[in-house]
A = this chain, B = another copy of it.
């Protein structure tokens, strides 16, 4: 039996609030967890893993929650494929889905690579600026010591 987590455990583990967790569930970003008889949410480790990837994409890519829904639905497909359940009868249903999926993933990749390039440019600019600042400080200190 996989260990279960209450909402506050998950919140603390992921650096979110309970409100945010319920909100993400409300807008369909997080799949509703099982409940106890009393109605209390019991999250699994998978929920936590998913949340962390979500937060990562939100912070790093700056995606809106709407965009995250699409992004997650993609990596969801990934998971179901990772499971490795493959029967030939199943494949016939999957092929069109895969063919639909391919350009979407490809596009996702292009977007990230564009951002990556720009980000590297910005890093280099700031790096150079830092170098100049440090050089200026060193130079001025040198003058003072003479």
**Chain A residues with a Cβ under 8 A of chain B:** 56-57, 59-62, 74-75, 78, 81, 88, 91, 94-95, 98-99, 101-102, 105-106, 108-109, 112-113, 115-116, 118-120, 122-123, 125-127, 129-130, 132-134, 136-137, 140, 143
Whether B140 contacts A126 by the Cβ 8 Å rule is no
- Copies of this protein, total: 2
Closest Cβ of chain B to A5, distance in Å, is 24
B137–A99 touching, CB < 8 Å: yes
B112 touches A56 (CB 8 A): no
- Structural contact, B61 and A122, CB atoms closer than 8 A: yes
Given the complex, which residues of B lie within 8 Å of A95, measured CB to CB?
Answer: 137, 140
CA separation between A132 and B78, bound complex, in Å? 9
B109–A126 CB distance below 8 A: yes
* Listed residue (A57, A59, A98, A119) with the most chain B CB atoms within 10 angstroms of its CB: A119
| Cα-based distance from A113 to B120 in the complex (angstroms) | 9
Min Cβ gap A80→B in Å is 12
